[in-house]
Amino acid sequence: MAGANIFHLRNVDYSERGQTLEIIVDGVLKPQTVIFSGIDCFGEKYYFTEQGLRYIQDSRHKLPWQTSVLNYLQKIPIILRAPRYAAISKINPVRHLFYEQITIKERGNKKSLLCVVLTKSNINAVWNFYWVERNKVPDTAEIIYQK
C-alpha cells in the first residue's frame, strides 16, 4: 500500500479504532470502521475510517497525477485542525472542504493546495483528499473560514 502511515499519528485519538459506526453517505446509512478521530478547526469531532481511506486510495489511483498525495495522508488531521481556508461545496452542501498549502516533493517541492473533504452528516467523516489543480479554491466552494 502506497502512502503515509496513518496508524501512528500524533494529536489524533485511536481509542475507537476498529469500532463500526453507521454514517450517512449520500443519503444511505453505511457501516464505517474507525481508524482514528480528531477535532477540526470548528471544534467538531470527525472520523477517519477504513472505508474513507479506501475511497481516497481508489479515487487517487484513477487519476495518476494525483497519486502522490497518498504520501501526505498524515497531513489530513493537521489540515482539518488548522486550514488556510474552509469552505462548503456549492454542489453538495454536506461536503465541507478544508484547504492548506503543503510542499509536495513529487511535484518539484512546489507548494500545492491540498483539500480534505469532510462529509458533515450524522457523523462527520473524511471523504476524500486531493491536490487542487489550479492551486486556488474553486468557484464551486463558498469560503466560510480563512486564516
Q: Given a cut of 70, is residue 97 above it in pLDDT?
A: yes
Per-residue model confidence (pLDDT) at position 3: 55
Question: Which of 57, 74, 79 is CA-nearest to residue 2?
Answer: 57
Question: Of the given ranges (12-21, 24-33, 81-90), which has the lowest mean pLDDT?
Answer: 24-33
pTM of the model as a whole: 0.93
Cα–Cα distance for residue pair 61/45, rounded to 1 Å: 28
Give the residue, 21 or 4, on which the prediction is more confident. Answer: 21
CA angle 56, 62, 64 (to 5 degrees): 100
Per-residue model confidence (pLDDT) at position 138: 95
- Contact assessment for residue 127 and residue 119, using Cβ atoms and an 8 Å cutoff: yes
Per-residue model confidence (pLDDT) at position 89: 97
Q: Given a cut of 90, is residue 107 above it in pLDDT?
A: no
Per-residue model confidence (pLDDT) at position 64: 86
* Integer angstrom CA distances of residue 109 from 70, 103, 116: 16, 5, 20
Question: In whole numbers, what is the pLDDT of the chain averaged over residues?
Answer: 93
The set of residues, in sequence order, having a beta carbon less than 8 Å from that of 43 and lying 6+ positions away, is none
How would residue 27 be classed by pLDDT, with cut points 50, 70 and 90? confident
